[in-house]
A and B are shown apart, each in its own frame.
Chain A
Amino acid sequence: MEPDLADLLAAWLGIETAPDRREALLARLRLDEAFRRSFVAEIRMLGMLKTVQSPESRWLRLEDELGWSSTETPTPEPLEERIVRGLDHPGASAPVGSSRSMFRRGLVAAAFLAAAGLVAILWPRRSDPGPPASQVARTQAYPRVDSSVGLAMVVKLDGAFWESSVDEPRPKEGDILANGRFRVGPGRAILSMLTGVVLDIEGPADVELVSESKVLCHQGRIRARVPSGAEGFIVLGPSAAVVDLGTEFAMNVGLDGKTQGRVFLGKLEAAVLNSVGSPRRTYLLDAGRAGSTKAFEVDPKAGKIEAVPTSEDFASASELVAPPLGLDPAYPAAVLASNPWGYWRFESLVDGSTPNEVAGRPPLKVVGPIRLVGRDDGPAPGVSNRLAEFRATTEPQFMTLEDDWQPNSSPGYAIEFWCLSRAITHASLAGLVSPRATDHHVFLMELTSRNRLTIHKPASIRLLHRWPSGWEGGDNTYSSEPYVPCRWHHFVGQVVGDRIELYKDGEVSSQASATPDRANVPCQLILGRLTALPGVGLSVDRPFVGRMDEVALYDRPLTIDEIRNHYRHGIVASPAK
């Protein structure tokens, strides 16, 4: 955007602007027709945007003047209820003296607005759009599906709602989906397969989850991002198939079965299918090779697949925005009241270390490109609220203590923190290794995903205890509920005598017995990576990508009351929670 236009819009919207600058902008506005048109286009769009997000007004004076209030019984029933009821029973609410067809058209428009935008969720701050309001009471919650058998998670519903019969259950954000067919209304749904494959679905769409590596798009626009380790993901259409070869790609399936596809990153193989669903003719698309085909079209009637020019007319890639962690100003005091051995708030980074809030205790050393982000002004005067961000990078990044910490085998110990993961992925959050600079864990908390190389329960938090320390074996427990990408969670993992306990969001999530025979040994604390060893691979790094805050280490287990109290102090203003 050119600077003059930005300044003019800012001034128009009330941002303080110097008088001479205002005069200069006005002068250009008078003389420059193209500039004037650009400005008009912007303010016109602003007006339309304001209109689509406004609730319908009750114009009482107008109603009085026209006598509507006396002929119509005032009703507390919301607009959308009346509209949808009107659609169900048009005769019941048709206005006096009007053309029913015209009225019905108005209703359709208004119902669309009500269902898709004004009443349901159009914007990020509302987390669950749900179906049109009149159907809410009549629909069931989606049944709980354990992540060990589920296929995908609803990460975000943005202006989208599930289209189904009224008795059919409707999933909401954070729900795990079993295999099955889902119809999405106007808007966007973001699903994550439990393997980490992210699907952006633009409604209206009709999508069927077939297996952990296969989705059938009956109709609609779908875009897939396939992380490393999940290659081979297949999106099927009625007459076409795309197999990922390490890539990001999109596919549009029309009502007539015509299918267009495009590769954005990496490679894929596309095929037109025969009548029994086997590939008949295939095409290799390579985003990285000059001159290579990037887009294709399948005509099912002609049984043809052919290269076509690339276009942008595909589902766009979503970029989930991390919500802030809304800590109560009293949160630090609540943690300190539990006498942690160490407590790191990530408010500052000096010489590669972030200080310990407990006097006399060591800072955490930051290795790699981890940075501190967040607002300096914090939730209240004098209380800052910064946090550590682990970026998506190939460089090793983790936090550790320069010296070993010796956990207390009796009565036990605890690690507490807040974290937000960017995706469903296998990532280490906090670990204790002994001896230092090895992969011999005593204690490990990590996020899991489904992959071919491990048997862990996917989309869960795993708590592992090993004694003696080592790189295999040990006692595991997994959270009963999944973690949700781009949502803040409060985790506590602790050893309590011969038990390990995992708490998620202030409640016991799981526990298990652990080998009772152990001794106190010095350990290296590592946050955000499996080990401090160089290299990559599932047994070395398991890098965490996301945000972490308020890490506390205790040389005793916490009580459930303490955990709940801390959690309550952390959910004051976090929109995602």
Chain B
Amino acid sequence: MLTQAEIDVVVDQVARGKRDAFRLIVRTFSLPLRAYIASQVHHPNDVDDMTQEVFLAAYRHLPSFRRGDDFGAWLRGIARNKLHDYFRSTARRDKALERFRQEVARVVEGDLEAAASSDNSESIEALLRCIGRLPEKLRRVVRAGLDGDKPVDLAEEFVTSVGAIYNLHYRANQLLRDCVQKELG
């Protein structure tokens, strides 16, 4: 994780034409930024595209970044604007569902920003370790969710109900949150 002073150094270097220095920004913030966007955008390609868009915008507007500010928060601010555009464009295509998603995103915007402010690459490393500690069944549920497997298929595999699968997922997330918190001390 870059310190505030290190970020200021990078910003200075980029301003002097050392574009390569921006790599450090990308490297430091790509995981938490991608996680922030992925919490609201489902399709992995869209998440990737938007993350790139945010970094591009950040690079172009780096001179407007105020020294001493939280760089992660600044990036998420750019991401929020991109997300608004994204929801607006998808809502035009698929009215009811996307309007609903757009409104949900708007309502939780503040809470999500507060929650994401503590996310960094270390949190995601910790999450990785914690996933490895989940019981087998819960790991399978988590994986199935990411693979887009239908809960009904998973319920069949586990010989249980769809509701129970949702509960397993919920339980897995609780365990992961507790574990990450413990890992990060």
Q: Which residue numbers of A lie inside 8 Å of B, CB to CB?
A: 1, 5-6, 8-14, 19, 22, 26, 29-30, 36-37, 39-54, 57, 59, 61-62, 65-68, 71, 95-99, 102-103, 105-106, 109-110, 112-113, 116-117, 122-125, 156, 158-160, 186-188, 190, 202-203, 315-322, 324, 373-375, 389
Residue pair B132, A186 in contact (C-beta under 8 Å): yes
A124 in contact with B143 given A14-B97, A57-B48, A68-B20 (CB within 8 Å): yes
Residue pair B131, A29 in contact (C-beta under 8 Å): no
Does B42 sit at the interface, judged by CB under 8 A? yes
Q: Mark B153-184, 1 if CB is under 8 A from A, else 0.
A: 10011110001001100100100110000000
CA A204 – CA B148 in complex, angstroms? 30
CA A124 – CA B135 in complex, angstroms? 12
Residue pair B108, A39 in contact (C-beta under 8 Å): yes
Residue pair A49, B146 in contact (C-beta under 8 Å): yes
A188 in contact with B133 given A47-B35, A50-B35 (CB within 8 Å): yes
Pick the residue among B115, B128, B170, B177 that contacts A116 (CB under 8 A): B128
Question: Which chain A residues lie closer than 8 Å to B176 at the CB level?
Answer: 45, 49
A109 in contact with B136 given A14-B97, A123-B143 (CB within 8 Å): no
Does B124 sit at the interface, judged by CB under 8 A? yes
Question: Which chain B residues lie closer than 8 Å to A315 at the CB level?
Answer: 133
A61 in contact with B56 given A49-B127, A159-B131, A186-B128 (CB within 8 Å): yes
Pick the residue among B28, B55, B132, B146 that contacts A188 (CB under 8 A): B132
A46 in contact with B28 given A26-B104, A123-B143 (CB within 8 Å): no
CA A39 – CA B36 in complex, angstroms? 14
Question: Which chain A residues lie closer than 8 Å to B158 at the CB level?
Answer: 321
Nearest CB on B from A317, distance (A): 6
Does B67 sit at the interface, judged by CB under 8 A? no
In the complex, residue of chain A having the shortest beta-carbon distance to the beta carbon of B9: A99
A160 in contact with B132 given A22-B100, A47-B37, A96-B20 (CB within 8 Å): yes
Does B44 sit at the interface, judged by CB under 8 A? yes
CA A74 – CA B162 in complex, angstroms? 46
CA A54 – CA B139 in complex, angstroms? 16
- Write 13 A-B pairs (CB below 8 A) sorted by A numbering: A8-B104, A41-B115, A52-B124, A53-B146, A57-B52, A97-B13, A106-B24, A112-B125, A158-B132, A159-B128, A160-B132, A186-B128, A375-B156
Residue pair A102, B6 in contact (C-beta under 8 Å): yes
Nearest CB on B from A107, distance (A): 9
In the complex, residue of chain A having the shortest beta-carbon distance to the beta carbon of B1: A105
Question: Which chain B residues lie closer than 8 Å to A49 at the CB level?
Answer: 127, 131, 142, 145-146, 176
Question: Which chain B residues lie closer than 8 Å to A318 at the CB level?
Answer: 135-136
CA A10 – CA B111 in complex, angstroms? 20
Residue pair A66, B59 in contact (C-beta under 8 Å): yes
Residue pair A321, B125 in contact (C-beta under 8 Å): no
CA A48 – CA B115 in complex, angstroms? 12
Does B140 sit at the interface, judged by CB under 8 A? yes
Question: Which chain A residues lie closer than 8 Å to B125 at the CB level?
Answer: 109, 112-113
Q: Which of B1-46 contact A (CB under 8 A)?
A: 1-2, 6, 13, 18-24, 26-28, 31, 34-40, 42, 44
Q: What is the total of A-B residue contacts with beta carbons within 8 Å?
A: 221
Question: Which chain A residues lie closer than 8 Å to B35 at the CB level?
Answer: 44, 47-48, 50-51
Residue pair B166, A1 in contact (C-beta under 8 Å): yes
CA A5 – CA B163 in complex, angstroms? 12
Pick the residue among B2, B18, B100, B131 that contacts A26 (CB under 8 A): B100
A42 in contact with B170 given A29-B107, A109-B121, A158-B132 (CB within 8 Å): yes
Nearest CB on A from B76, distance (A): 12
Interface size class of B (residues with CB under 8 A): 35 or more
Q: Which of B44-63 contact A (CB under 8 A)?
A: 44, 47-48, 51-52, 55-56, 59
CA A179 – CA B106 in complex, angstroms? 59
Question: Which chain A residues lie closer than 8 Å to B37 at the CB level?
Answer: 47
Residue pair B132, A159 in contact (C-beta under 8 Å): yes
Residue pair A41, B173 in contact (C-beta under 8 Å): yes
CA A54 – CA B159 in complex, angstroms? 29
A43 in contact with B112 given A50-B44, A97-B20, A112-B128 (CB within 8 Å): yes
Residue pair A113, B124 in contact (C-beta under 8 Å): yes
Residue pair A62, B26 in contact (C-beta under 8 Å): yes
Residue pair B140, A124 in contact (C-beta under 8 Å): yes
Question: Which chain A residues lie closer than 8 Å to B166 at the CB level?
Answer: 1, 6, 9-10
Does B88 sit at the interface, judged by CB under 8 A? no
Most buried by A among B18, B39, B137, B176: B39
Question: Which chain B residues lie closer than 8 Å to A37 at the CB level?
Answer: 111, 115
CA A96 – CA B158 in complex, angstroms? 52
CA A66 – CA B17 in complex, angstroms? 10
In the complex, residue of chain B having the shortest beta-carbon distance to the beta carbon of A116: B128
CA A10 – CA B163 in complex, angstroms? 11
Q: Mark B114-128, 1 if CB is under 8 A from A, else 0.
A: 011001011111011
Residue pair B135, A317 in contact (C-beta under 8 Å): yes
Question: Which chain B residues lie closer than 8 Å to A125 at the CB level?
Answer: 143, 147
Question: Which chain A residues lie closer than 8 Å to B44 at the CB level?
Answer: 50, 54
In the complex, residue of chain B having the shortest beta-carbon distance to the beta carbon of A37: B111
A26 in contact with B103 given A46-B38, A52-B124, A117-B128 (CB within 8 Å): yes
Residue pair A321, B136 in contact (C-beta under 8 Å): yes
Residue pair B111, A95 in contact (C-beta under 8 Å): no
Does B93 sit at the interface, judged by CB under 8 A? no
Residue pair B136, A122 in contact (C-beta under 8 Å): no
CA A52 – CA B125 in complex, angstroms? 8
Question: Which chain A residues lie closer than 8 Å to B59 at the CB level?
Answer: 62, 65-66
Residue pair A116, B132 in contact (C-beta under 8 Å): yes
CA A186 – CA B128 in complex, angstroms? 9
Question: Which chain B residues lie closer than 8 Å to A42 at the CB level?
Answer: 170, 173
CA A124 – CA B134 in complex, angstroms? 12
Pick the residue among A8, A11, A54, A95 that contacts B23 (CB under 8 A): A95
Nearest CB on A from B132, distance (A): 4
Nearest CB on B from A346, distance (A): 15
Residue pair A316, B19 in contact (C-beta under 8 Å): no
Nearest CB on A from B163, distance (A): 7
CA A53 – CA B103 in complex, angstroms? 28
In the complex, residue of chain B having the shortest beta-carbon distance to the beta carbon of A315: B133
Does B101 sit at the interface, judged by CB under 8 A? yes
Residue pair B177, A19 in contact (C-beta under 8 Å): no
Does B84 sit at the interface, judged by CB under 8 A? no
Residue pair B24, A102 in contact (C-beta under 8 Å): yes
CA A12 – CA B41 in complex, angstroms? 10
CA A43 – CA B37 in complex, angstroms? 10
CA A228 – CA B111 in complex, angstroms? 52
Question: Which chain A residues lie closer than 8 Å to B31 at the CB level?
Answer: 51, 113
Question: Which chain A residues lie closer than 8 Å to B140 at the CB level?
Answer: 124, 321
Nearest CB on B from A158, distance (A): 6
Residue pair B40, A47 in contact (C-beta under 8 Å): yes
CA A62 – CA B97 in complex, angstroms? 32
CA A186 – CA B100 in complex, angstroms? 40
